[in-house]
Amino acid sequence: MKNLLYRHETYVFLAIIIFVTVVSVINPAFFTLENFFDLLKSASLMGTFAIGMLFVLISGGIDISFTAIATVSGYTIAVLLLRIGESLNIFLVFLIASLIGIALGMINALIIHNFKIPSIITTIATQNIFYGILTVITTGTWLYGFPQWFGDFATIRLFTFYTKGGAPYGLSIVTLIWIVLILISWFILRYTVLGRGIYAMGGNTLSAQRAGFNLFGLTMFVYSWMGLMAGIGSVIQALLVQTVAPNSLVGKEMDVIAAVVLGGASMAGGSGSVLGMILGVTLISILGNGMTIMRVPAVWYNVVIGLVIIVSVGASAYRRKIFTRRKVITETPPSGGQSAA
Amino acid sequence: MLRKTSYLGILLIALVVVTVLMTLFNGIGFLSLRNLRSMSFQLPELGILTLAMMIAMLTSGINLSIIATSNLSGIMMALILTRLVPAESPLAGSIWITILAILAGLAIGAIVGMLNGFLVAVVDISPILATLGTMIMISGISVVITEGYVISGFPQAILTIGNKSFLGIPNPMIIFLICAGVMAVILNRTPLGTRIYMIGSNPTATFYSGVNNRKVLFRTYIISGIYSGVAAIIMISRFNSAKADYGESYLLQTVLAAVLGGISASGGFGKVSGLIISLIIMQMISSGLNLLGVSNFLTIALWGIILILVMVLKYLLEKGVSKRRVA
């Protein structure tokens, strides 16, 4: 029980509960199954990106280029859908997008590992390269008018309910994809050597290497995984809006990083959890959705999000500071005072 | 010592190569006075913002909120200029209002800097997160104030700052050179500068050698904020307007320019001189390609490629040096 108080996730969860209660009291339309499914559907895109970002942050790196990767893979599948759309199916679309994402992620990993260039600089550079070249080739044209089956797939629901007006709603296929990805990530991080390796590398690179982890392999996996999520995310985006625009994602990378960090992942690496990531994404989505439902003018959105990030990250940093200080004094010698929590 | 000199060397060689290439492609007109002047009208905005980024990076931090700060202080200046100055007022009457507006804009920069400094130095949030939070919040406040609209129509005095020249040198360039000079003096000639480099290299050792890290970090972010405010003056004067989301693409470019200029991303190393050379290289590429009618986006891609190439060269060079030392 005492342990629970030291966990960042607990506080994010409390914040969500309080906010949900307040919004529900003001407008009961918020606390309905329909709105809940709607929320999950719109959170799926950011959530998928956030899965990739979580792995990168845990490994002690950062990836700014994933929006550009998603744009490249999204644009490629959009062109394919328009040219040979009738001979494709949804699995091929996901496969192609994933392969492109993985390939571009590998480029990041190769540069970061071989030349020891900090990940933030590498990925800023590759974001410019991927996005710049794509925009030159495509001249920024929007693509739409995809085959019928691609539009139909997006409307698949797992459970179907009907509103009083007769409109159907339910758990969207898009949300289902997100949930499956979450389960896979949770399994990797929790129960595999690979997952342990990623935490170890983020906690202390040198120790991880001494302990026998293959740093090159881990780096390759982490950035390819981010690329994979960017690829899958690009298909989700195309499914949700049925349009692909080269400029719709680039520039939004900070939102995803903010969501993951809100969930307790640290910039220094070595910490972060799937549960925290889900809570972070949920909190950001609920804030947006709830403010709309409470009829708060949209212009206030960023002010609130910014405040929430500052307060949440600030509180956890301050708690850690106090906690570490106490620990240093009472338990460990100063040199070992680095808290992994 | 060898390392730093040789990196400046690489940069200078890169500068010469870029200049020669661009002159070859564009003809000798590329080096004409007119083109050089137009380049020096464009460079200062990014230049001053990069200085704001640089000082934070030297302490091994980063300041993601510079563009948002710049926009908020630009909006503050714009509000004073448009709401306090009647449309028909002559230039003489508006000088004091202009000065008031500029001071208010700089004050906004300093206040945001204090907020960042408080979050980083006192609350102990990692700089990237603290400034990410303030970036989102500050840009939100700008949107709330302007409701997303453009504020435009400024008196002549403020337009002179961004669009006229003094003795043939564009005013923005003069402001940039003053800013760069002041930054160089702060970093190399004051105790604060020495401590900034020390904190960037090893904060713990700096703390135990009796330096008040908090105070140094606090001042670092205030300076960074004020520089964002200076950039705002040039920005609103060149656009003749202020808006909540101007110059958002500058953010990553400032990191790019700083790193290309030899500012270490992990702090502690980097000089204003390297930064200036890297800014000139980037400006040459963008102007040169622009004259050739090449898409802006290809320029962006090229910057990325150059950044990676330079970092790779730097890595190989360092590796070579350390190998020789071991042998």
Asked if B301 lies within 8 A of A128 by C-beta distance, the reply is: yes
Identify the pLDDT of residue B69: 93
Range of the domain at B188: 38-273
Q: DSSP secondary-structure letter at B217?
A: H
The closest CB to that of A133, out of B138, B266, B301, belongs to: B301
Closest by CA position to B55, among listed B109, B7, B107, B99: B109
Going residue by residue through chain A, which has 341 residues, state the pLDDT in tens, using 9 for 90 and above.
456 666 778 888 888 888 888 888 888 877 888 888 888 888 899 999 999 999 999 999 999 899 999 999 999 999 999 888 788 888 999 999 999 999 999 999 999 999 988 888 899 889 989 998 998 888 878 888 888 888 888 888 777 777 777 777 778 888 999 999 999 999 999 999 999 999 999 888 888 888 888 899 999 999 999 999 999 999 999 998 888 888 888 777 888 988 898 888 877 788 888 999 999 999 888 888 888 888 888 778 888 888 888 888 888 777 777 776 655 544 444 443 333 33
Question: What 8-state DSSP symbol labels residue A212?
Answer: T
CB atoms within 10 A of CB B53: 30
B245 within a domain of the structure (yes/no): yes
B125: which 2 tokens? 């949030």
Could you tell me the sign of the dihedral formed by the alpha carbons of B315, B317, B320, B325, in that order? negative
Q: Is residue A168 part of a domain?
A: yes
Residue B53 belongs to a domain:
yes
Look at residue A325 in the predicted model and tell me its pLDDT: 64
- Asked whether residue B318 is domain-assigned, the answer is no
Helix H or strand E segment including A303? helix A301-330
Residue B261 lies in a domain: yes
Residues 260-319 of A with CB under 8 A from B: 261, 266-268, 299-307, 309-310, 313-314, 317-318
Taking only the tens place, the pLDDT of each residue in B16-75 is: 988 888 888 877 777 887 888 888 888 898 999 999 999 999 998 888 899 999 999 999
User: What CA–CA distances, in Å, run from B97 to A17, A280, B103?
Assistant: 49, 45, 10
Establish if B109 belongs to a structural domain. yes
**Would A68 be classed as within a structural domain?**
yes
Contact across the interface for A122 and B308, Cβ inside 8 Å:
yes
pLDDT band at B1, cuts 50/70/90?
very low
The answer to whether residue B166 scores a pLDDT higher than 50 is yes
**Model pTM above 0.90:** no
Mean pLDDT is highest, among A267-271, B175-179, B241-245, B312-316, for B175-179
End-to-end CA, chain A: 16
pLDDT of B155 > 90? The answer is no
| Residue A63: domain span | 36-274
Q: Which helix (H) or strand (E) holds A127?
A: helix A119-138
Tell me, yes or no, whether B321 lies in a domain: no
Indicate whether B288 belongs to any domain. Answer: no
Number of domains in chain B: 1
Residue B111 lies in a domain: yes
Q: Mark A4-35 as b/e (b = at least 16 C-beta within 10 Å).
A: eeebbbebbbebbeebeeebbeeeeebeeeeb
Q: Is A337 on the interface with B (CB under 8 A)?
A: no
